[in-house]
Chains A and B, each alone.
Chain A
Amino acid sequence: MTGGALFIAVFLACAVEAVEATTIVLAAGTARDWRSALLGLGAGLLLLAAVVAALGPALTAIPLQSLRLVVGALLLVFGLQWLRKAILRASGRKALHDEDAIFATELAAARAAASHRVGYVPDWYAFTLSFKGVMLEGLEVAFIALTFGSNQKNIPLAAVAAVAAVVVVGVAGVAVRAPMARVPENTMKFVVGVMLTSFGTFWAAEGAGAHWPGSDAALLALVPLYALFGLGLAGALRPRPQPRPVVYSPEGVSE
Chain B
Amino acid sequence: MISRLRSFGAFWYDFIVGDDWRVAVVVALALALTYGVSRTSVPAWWLLPAVVVVVLPVSLRRAIRGG
Binding site for B on A (CB under 8 A): 69, 73-74, 76-78, 80-81, 83-84, 87-88, 93-94, 139-140, 197, 201, 204-205, 208-213, 218, 222, 225-226, 229-230, 233, 237
State A204–B44 Cα separation when bound (angstroms): 12
Task: Tell me the residues in window 1-49 of chain B with beta carbons closer than 8 Å to chain A beta carbons.
Answer: 15-20, 23-24, 27-28, 31-32, 34-35, 37-39, 43-45, 47-49
Q: What is the number of contacts between chain A and chain B, taking CB atoms within 8 Å? A: 99
B49–A222 contact, CB under 8 A? yes
A93–B34 contact, CB under 8 A? no
Where chain A touches its partner, the secondary structure class is helix
User: With A73-B28, A80-B23, A229-B53 given, is the CB distance from A208 to B35 under 8 Å?
Assistant: yes
Taking CB atoms, residues of chain A closer than 8 Å to B44 are 205, 208-211
Number of interface residues of B (CB under 8 A): 33
B34–A205 contact, CB under 8 A? yes
State A78–B14 Cα separation when bound (angstroms): 10
Given contacts A205-B45, A210-B44, A211-B45, 16 further A-B contacts (CB under 8 A): A77-B16, A77-B23, A77-B24, A80-B27, A81-B20, A81-B23, A139-B15, A204-B48, A205-B31, A208-B31, A208-B32, A208-B35, A208-B38, A210-B37, A210-B45, A210-B47
